[in-house]
């Protein structure tokens, strides 16, 4: 009904592109189709902020034409307007660009990171309270952060951008995945935040907004579990550095994944929330000694990126900074 009314008001479908990834012979395409005004004087879908991103009208079951390396593919969106589909095509490793278009709209481009088959390490990082202070899941504060604030008002976790940048620099070609329970609606805001605070470019794996067929709210845990299991299937030779925080369920989810796929985990780094952040987030979920996994996978805890980096150096996943790096950082 909203889509019909929007079209009658002159709104047109456009594609909001998201960064994707791929491997030898395939890529994963991610985007969302919404209705918006085509007047260039108005905000583009990628610049929609706060609550407006949640009242935008998705175009269910829309067909998106994707041009990759001179070949065209058609992909269908789900009922939330989200396209999450694989294309069978062999691209050279590295950053590649694809073009997306719907119903004759202006074409837009999306970044695709094709993982080198020789890559052996990757990075998976949570977003909320891991790279960005949000104090989730306290209901009112979460709503304020999600629906009202834009990326200028959000605070980065100290040292996390430097930590991720060092990991990607030392492990050239490492894929970066930002895995969050946030909705696709806020992806443009998160992308601007990451860019503003110099986080490495990567693929965001978010969730649909709204209920499913069998529950009122989607399960963030299931989303993270399924995403990690998929990464293990897609990249069986890659070992992941899993980065999260102790304010939600990251420790338990990473422990389960490490137990099921020990060959795919290089290490786990958990950011410890401050006491005020832990109160706002509903407490901590620190693993008891008996729950900590064995098997030689290093686990480290620290309140910021600098502390995690020091322990990852001790674990052999980072090299010590040279004098030039230390002086520049100071």
pLDDT per residue rounded down to tens, the chain (330 residues): 888 888 888 888 999 999 999 999 999 999 999 998 765 434 445 545 554 555 678 899 999 999 999 999 999 999 889 999 999 999 999 999 999 999 988 999 999 999 999 999 999 999 988 998 875 554 554 555 555 455 555 789 999 999 999 999 999 999 999 999 888 888 888 888 899 999 999 999 998 755 444 444 456 789 999 999 999 999 999 999 999 998 868 999 999 999 999 999 999 999 998 755 554 445 455 555 555 555 689 999 999 999 999 999 999 999 998 765 544 344
CATH class of 2-114: mainly beta
Respond yes or no on whether the N-terminal peptide bond of residue 137 is cis (omega within 30° of 0): yes
Residue limits of CATH 2.60.40 in the chain:
2-114
Among the listed residues 187, 193, 211, 197, the one whose alpha carbon sits nearest the alpha carbon of residue 165: 197
Distance separating alpha carbons of residues 263 and 277, to the nearest angstrom: 33
pTM score > 0.95 for this model?
A: no
Report residue 284 as tokens: 């901590």
Q: Residue 70: left (phi > 0), alpha (psi -120 to 50), or beta?
A: left
CATH 3.40.50.1000 fits 121-329, yes or no: yes
Residue range(s) of every CATH 3.40.50.1000 domain in the chain: 121-329
Element (DSSP H or E) covering residue 160: helix 160-170
């Amino acid at each position: 009904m909203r889509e019909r009314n929007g079209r009658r008001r002159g709104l047109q479908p456009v594609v909001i592109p998201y960064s994707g990834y791929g491997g030898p012979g395939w890529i994963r395409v991610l985007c969302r189709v919404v209705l918006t005004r085509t007047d260039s004087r108005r905000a583009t879908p990628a610049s929609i902020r706060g609550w407006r991103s949640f009242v935008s009208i998705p175009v269910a079951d829309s067909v998106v034409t994707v041009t990759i390396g001179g070949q065209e593919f058609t992909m269908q969106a789900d009922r939330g307007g989200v396209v999450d589909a694989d294309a069978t095509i062999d691209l050279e490793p590295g950053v590649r660009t694809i073009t997306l278009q719907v119903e004759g709209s202006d074409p837009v481009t999306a970044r695709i990171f094709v993982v080198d088959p020789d890559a052996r390490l990757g990075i998976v990082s949570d977003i909320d309270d891991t790279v960005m202070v949000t104090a989730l899941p306290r209901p009112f504060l979460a709503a304020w952060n999600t629906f009202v604030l834009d990326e200028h008002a959000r605070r980065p976790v100290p040292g996390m951008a430097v930590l991720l940048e060092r990991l990607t620099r030392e492990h050239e070609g490492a894929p970066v995945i930002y895995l969050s329970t946030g909705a696709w609606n806020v992806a443009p805001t998160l992308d601007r935040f990451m860019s503003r605070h110099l986080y490495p470019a990567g693929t965001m794996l978010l969730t649909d907004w709204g209920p499913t067929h069998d529950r009122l709210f989607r399960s963030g845990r299931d989303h993270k579990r399924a995403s990690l299991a998929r990464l293990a299937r897609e990249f069986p030779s890659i070992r992941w550095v899993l980065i999260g925080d102790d304010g939600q369920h990251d420790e338990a989810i990473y422990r389960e994944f490490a137990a099921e796929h020990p060959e795919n985990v290089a290490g786990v780094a958990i950011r410890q929330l401050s006491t005020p952040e832990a109160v706002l987030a509903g407490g901590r979920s620190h693993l008891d000694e008996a729950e900590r996994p064995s098997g030689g996978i290093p686990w480290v805890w620290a309140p910021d990126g600098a502390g995690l980096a020091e322990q990852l150096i001790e674990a052999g996943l980072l090299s010590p900074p040279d004098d030039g790096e230390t002086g520049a950082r100071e």
